[in-house]
Structure 1
């Protein structure tokens, strides 16, 4: 056994995983060979850091001082470690009592650079019968193909691994352009580090010891085919990044053997099992082929910008541009302090939406010099007067004087995001107008945290109801709520938005002023613009529909678009929409074959807007009805999103053709205008101060668009019987 001190580092970023983090730390405290120290690194989550420090006052609880993500957190822990051996354990893994002793025992051999252990999957909902052992790496666990006894490997597995600290430091630490973040699933940071370490120490070896065991939790949300496919795609992208840094020969040496031997053997073995009477064997064989294909697609289509010196700096897609401060400022409001700058650095610019008495009048891109402390300072840069009282004046409480609308219900669909949901509900409660009822729909829930939150949530003068919908899909969730609505108006928003205080007031007023309006949509403004990915989204104009009210119908208010009304994206977005309840029911509610959570990945809001126009209704865009939306922070999540946008649009267009065959004539007659419009969407013009919009994102959206029609046919078949269900009150 080596006499070197061992530091165990546990990284965490999610408050929702606090119980798993406690179990992981307690398993380290219970080792037969206790570590010299335990460091818990919290990834940019002050609330979680305080909670962990109170639970384990005897331990060092650190804040990640690097870029957000697992790699930055590990680098922070490594820099603070005093042990000669650094041992990394995932926050959702529980180590066996002899785990640390088994890992560190191999360092008595001087040539050993690092050792990884065996991660056994602990399936929260039971192991899916179609899931092949060869792909347990998808959920961060050991897989068939690894050595079955102590043996050499090219790289370690991050869930459970130990390295000499000087090896990590000499290799330059973990590459923060790789590794998981709070919203992204990209990986391979351990692989890339081990390859760099092997180049630095050519006579060193990495070992895999199956006797050093941990049990790794696999939530029910990860035991789905959609997660399996998306994780394989992300792995392919990550492998492409690694090979760009290390070369194809080194970066894919282990993978080539895995593809040539392990996967074919797995297909044959499972086909034999199917032939012997186990039907799931055929499903596992097909899943192996799907996983290989998805990983290959991710590898071949990856086009993420990368750094030539990956270990020297942060991820180029996260920090290539300074953060931008988004502000929505009403000239009638008192000045308010500006928020603190994010971890990426000080704000260089501000995106400012100027309101006059709640109505948007101007957008400004404002350069900042760091001396600004309040919104009045920002407005002074453009010469706009601050009309409200001074900063020392007590702020007006919107909710204290809020009036109720007994004819309105607000619906918020959610899935496993109780913290975000609570923020959304708080913003609704702070509005100048309050609904009679708020319905929270818990869609395909993995746990009961949302139900507990709603049961204990109180909104003065408002009934907050909980509805459970087990069928995954946003359209199913909205239809489940629609069955429970007892008011004239129903308003929908997403669980991850903050609504402006006058949001509900403004989106419902249009129904009072225009009796012909049966559907209204509102403005979606950015909640944060810290990263390049978020700034690309805003520059592309995905959510922006302008500052002026717009009216659409089949009479005198037809948009100047030859694809009208099929190009329903110009009408608004599902994160901010309202309907006359009776009209929405009369058109059949939302199409259950569409929406996030289904194979089509979206399009349910587009279909609803199209149905409104098609059935003779009027839709009004109300820019003063503002919600603030958190765009995806990292590139991997953005890529998945734009693929989903393309798939949802393609699915919606296929639905138009099936429900209204003459749509084909319109599309063919105006194909040139449609292609020109599509080209503008896929290749937006360069935005000031930003790198060019990546062709990789354009390809992803184009690929999603191409698969959308087939996806809709599959989804429509699966949901036959309720695709056009008529919603009964």
Structure 2
């Protein structure tokens, strides 16, 4: 029985809403395990569902998530018979036993967001895993509030480290250097991690000695505003519910732009790396990521570099981290800009690197129809759904070429600031 499925057929939300829903398209978010569907009842009551007319539930088993179901809410409850019928359509994933439990260090990088960090850290501390340490990297903070909060917990598993230089990549590198675990799992301060998150990561690394990165599912923890609904549809972080193993030498037939189609690999809110492998690569590129002129792209860059170095990347949807998307239109607009510029900066980096540019350009030319289709699809997902257009700020969609151009300029600006692409490289 899942921790979020209560007796009396009551289901808790993944994240209690910070405020009531602001429009009639808001969706209540929760999860249910298949053993709860065997209960002899007609309805399941949803906690804190006031103001919601629709619910989205992630249906789960011990082997992994089966899929999402969307249901109408009537009098604060959903129809269990309808839920059973929808869940029965999902194929069951094959169980993969965890053969080892490596020491894992969880790194959360944060900056002056104690209220959000509390929710994220509470969920990490509740994870069911035997060998874990937790490092909070306080990045260029204006106050000591984060340090005081972490130290007041008096949890021997949790420690806080200061990184005075702004930038997410710098903060990730600081956490990486301080980690004692062989595996370092990164997440953000605006998430709720699943209790089985680290067990799923360990399972991913147990798939083979060549695995250097494991990523997973990042569903929306909250869809109470149009901004959150738009961002969730645009990024598609919870679209894939099957395990994938990516290797540079074995291009998958269904990803013609591999290895440059980095959207398939995961996202920075939920990934774990082999610490030694990342140190050999010189760490995260300081010219990429939040807090730098590029605003993002450091996670995509690391996925790509680990693959190029010969490591395998495992995407396992059983590794679940629920993400709280920006709720306001202002936050969405800022996030959309940095999202596009960060991706453009990574593309610019690849295109200007003599080691990767030839393959990048040849892939684009040889796979021209697929490349055009990809650009068309990206443009279509950037457009708000018709029912959201009048509720969102203008200018959310930016042509791909403009994002690449802006990213190129931003990456150059970051390098001029003295940000090191290989800050942890050992001198020859």
Q: Which range, TM-score by smaller chain?
A: 0.7 to 0.9
C-alpha distance in 1 between matches for 2:145 and 2:411 = 32
Instruction: Work out whether residues 599 and 711 of structure 1, in 8 Å CA contact, stay in contact via their aligned partners in 2.
Output: yes
Higher CA-based Rg: 1
Offset of residue 645 of structure 1:
1.0
Range that drifts further, 543-552 or 667-676: 667-676
Give secondary structure in 2 for the equivalent of 1:612.
helix
Q: 1:321 to 1:439 in 2, by over 3 A?
A: same
C-alpha distance in 1 between matches for 2:385 and 2:341 = 29
Give secondary structure in 1 for the equivalent of 2:266.
coil
Offset of residue 718 of structure 1:
1.9
Superposition map of 1:635-646 within 5 A: 635-646=329-340
Query: Which of residues 130, 137, 155 in structure 2 aligns to 1:441?
Result: 137
Q: 1:558 to 1:613 in 2, by over 3 A?
A: farther
Give secondary structure in 2 for the equivalent of 1:643.
helix
Show the counterpart of 2:312: 618
CA RMSD between the two structures: 3.0
C-alpha distance in 2 between matches for 1:485 and 1:552 = 26
> Which whole-Å deviations, capped at 9, do the CAs of 1:290-328 have from their partners, x for residues lacking one?
xxxxxxxxxxxxxxxxxxxxxxxxxxxx84533111112
Offset of residue 658 of structure 1:
2.6
C-alpha distance in 1 between matches for 2:104 and 2:184 = 6
Offset of residue 409 of structure 1:
0.6
C-alpha distance in 1 between matches for 2:79 and 2:194 = 20
- 2:370 equivalent to 1:673: yes
Offset of residue 640 of structure 1:
1.4
- 2:314 equivalent to 1:609: no
Instruction: Work out whether residues 347 and 370 of structure 1, in 8 Å CA contact, stay in contact via their aligned partners in 2.
Output: no
- 2:415 equivalent to 1:716: yes
Q: Bigger relative contact order, structure 1 or 2, given CA contacts below 8 A and separation 6+? A: 2
Superposition map of 1:204-353 within 5 A: 319-332=22-35, 338-341=46-49, 346-353=51-58
Query: Which of residues 469, 478, 488 in structure 1 aligns to 2:182?
Result: 488
C-alpha distance in 2 between matches for 1:689 and 1:643 = 21
- 2:74 equivalent to 1:366: no
The alignment covers a number of residue pairs equal to 390
Give secondary structure in 2 for the equivalent of 1:697.
coil
Higher helix share: 1
Offset of residue 681 of structure 1:
1.8
- Unmatched runs of 5 consecutive residues or more in structure 1: 1-44, 48-66, 69-317, 387-403
Instruction: Work out whether residues 552 and 559 of structure 1, in 8 Å CA contact, stay in contact via their aligned partners in 2.
Output: no
Query: Which of residues 220, 226, 238 in structure 2 aligns to 1:526?
Result: 220
Query: Which of residues 181, 184, 195 in structure 2 aligns to 1:501?
Result: 195
Give secondary structure in 1 for the equivalent of 2:344.
helix
Query: Which of residues 82, 97, 112 in structure 2 aligns to 1:381?
Result: 82
C-alpha distance in 1 between matches for 2:274 and 2:322 = 24
C-alpha distance in 1 between matches for 2:361 and 2:324 = 36
C-alpha distance in 1 between matches for 2:290 and 2:265 = 19
> Which whole-Å deviations, capped at 9, do the CAs of 1:447-478 have from their partners, x for residues lacking one?
1001111112244xx52121111111111000
C-alpha distance in 2 between matches for 1:582 and 1:604 = 18
Q: 1:688 to 1:470 in 2, by over 3 A?
A: closer
> Which whole-Å deviations, capped at 9, do the CAs of 1:158-210 have from their partners, x for residues lacking one?
xxxxxxxxxxxxxxxxxxxxxxxxxxxxxxxxxxxxxxxxxxxxxxxxxxxxx
C-alpha distance in 1 between matches for 2:286 and 2:253 = 27
C-alpha distance in 2 between matches for 1:668 and 1:557 = 17
Offset of residue 566 of structure 1:
2.0
Q: 1:519 to 1:341 in 2, by over 3 A?
A: same
Show the counterpart of 2:284: 590
C-alpha distance in 2 between matches for 1:640 and 1:414 = 18
- Unmatched runs of 5 consecutive residues or more in structure 2: 1-15, 88-99
C-alpha distance in 2 between matches for 1:474 and 1:685 = 25
Offset of residue 480 of structure 1:
0.7
TM-score, normalised to structure 2, is: 0.83
C-alpha distance in 2 between matches for 1:567 and 1:529 = 27
C-alpha distance in 1 between matches for 2:62 and 2:30 = 16
Offset of residue 481 of structure 1:
0.9
> Which whole-Å deviations, capped at 9, do the CAs of 1:44-69 have from their partners, x for residues lacking one?
x999xxxxxxxxxxxxxxxxxxx98x
C-alpha distance in 2 between matches for 1:332 and 1:357 = 10
Offset of residue 371 of structure 1:
4.4
